[in-house]
Amino acid sequence: MRKLLHPVSITLIVLIMLFSLPFMFSKKDLQLSDAQLRKAAHNHNLKAVPKSYEEILKVTSNPSHPPSQDKIALGKQLFFDTRLSRDKSISCATCHILNEGGDDNLPTAIGYHGRGNPKHLNSPTVLNAALAKAQFWDGRAKDVEEQAGGPVQAPFEM
């Protein structure tokens, strides 16, 4: 009985200490006011998401591919078009569900014939993607124009 008591006592002491740790240290108030958040964002050169079409054009316009209403309409049509996939079953909207945050909420993206992304990556959101400094998780495309051809040509995606 004495041999059993020793490991049990040590285990109990360790468990008590672990559960006591949060109470041993004071909690720092992590609440920031709107003014503090704005100042922190400004100090890190972050800018607000544009609110009007004209403001969006200022930050997303690509001089070699200037946007237009016709291009935007075509992009929307292509985003939902399954004819871009090899077996005509997948569109961009399959993995980038706009009503669900612009992604598919899966740990690994599933594409053509149920194949998972070979690098075990999930589908990034497409919401505000034109405002990103680079595209894809590894940043290999500099803008959305360059990114658009990738999934269509990737054998495991479309």
**Which distant-in-sequence residues (6+ apart) come within 8 Å of 35 by Cβ?**
none
Q: Is 157 a catalytic residue?
A: yes
Active-site residue identified among 54, 145, 146, 157: 157
Tokens of 58: 């200022």
Query: CA-CA distances (angstroms) from residue 42 to 35, 58, 60, 73, 132?
Result: 10, 19, 20, 34, 17
Residue count of the chain, please give it.
158
Tokens of 70: 């016709």
HSE at residue 92, side-chain half, CA atoms within 13 A, is 20
Sign of CA dihedral 70, 71, 73, 77: positive
Catalytic residues: 157
